[in-house]
Amino acid sequence: MNVYKLVGRNLEITEGIRAHVAQRLSKLERFEEHIVDARVVLSVKNDGTTFAPHRVEMQLNVPHGVIRAEEARQDMYVAIDAATEVLERQLKKFRSKYITRTHRGELPLETVTPEPDEEDMEVQIVRNKRFELRPMSPEDAAMQMEALGHDFYMFYNAKSDQVNVIYKRRDGHYGLLEPHIS
């Protein structure tokens, strides 16, 4: 992969690190037709309390979604290797599902309504994450969720022009949450 953005946080990116990232990402060239662009963020946490201070975040933009890997290790080179291996596994899965879906049809979806939680718990938000919503079909969202290894995925449904959530049910099928204001 020739074109990617490499960013360092609390870290000077040396030629050795740059070459190692390039060498590891070159393993993904066989998936190049599925990769729109890539971003690699390398960071070091120097607070003395973190077991694995070297963190690697890799993101590949693919048609109808994103594939991400985050790894933290004691050694930056080992973290880069681990994140690249995760991306490679996810790209294999994405390519397989993308080809299967293209040739055989769409993934099964089931529309469900969530039941309210009856427990009265104190809620503490510990992380706030912002991300770009891309228009896609529920089937593409299911593929994206699987590629990321998540249990649910929020997306902008191109068919209904609404924000929806797709999730993996315990029975292995998919559920689709569609908002309805009454």
Return the higher-pLDDT residue of 6 and 124: 6
Q: What is the rounded CA–CA span in Å between residue 150 and residue 153?
A: 7
* End position of a domain, from candidates 75, 104, 133: 104
Residue 49 lies in a domain: yes
DSSP at 112? -
**3 state SS of 59:** strand
Three-state secondary structure along 126-171?
CCCCCCCCCEECHHHHHHHHHHHCCCEEEEEECCCCEEEEEEECCC
Of 31, 146, 2, the closest CA to residue 91 belongs to 31
Residue 71 belongs to some domain of the structure: yes
80 shares a domain with 34: yes
Task: Indicate the pTM of the whole model.
Answer: 0.57
Amino acid in position 134: R
Residue 2 zone, left/alpha/beta (φ > 0; ψ -120 to 50; rest):
alpha
- Tally of structural domains, the chain: 2
For residue 9, pLDDT over 70 is answered with: yes
Which range of residues forms the domain containing residue 87? 5-104
Residue 117 covered by a domain: no
Last residue of a domain, one of 104, 134, 168: 104
Share of the chain above pLDDT 90, in %: 39
Residues 127-152: pLDDT tens digits? 888 888 889 999 999 988 888 888 89
Same domain, 67 and 30: yes
Task: CATH number of the domain at 57, please.
Answer: 3.30.160.100
Q: Using CA of residue 176, residue 152, residue 182, residue 118, what is the dihedral sign?
A: positive
Better pLDDT: 52 or 103: 52
83 & 152 share domain: no
Has residue 119 been placed in a domain?
no
Amino acid, single-letter form, for residue 29: E
Q: Give the domain CATH number at 160.
A: 3.30.505.50
Residues whose CB falls within 8 Å of the CB of residue 63, separated by 6 or more in sequence, listed in order? 34, 36, 98
- Please check whether residues 9 and 96 belong to one and the same domain: yes
Residues 99 and 20 in one domain: yes
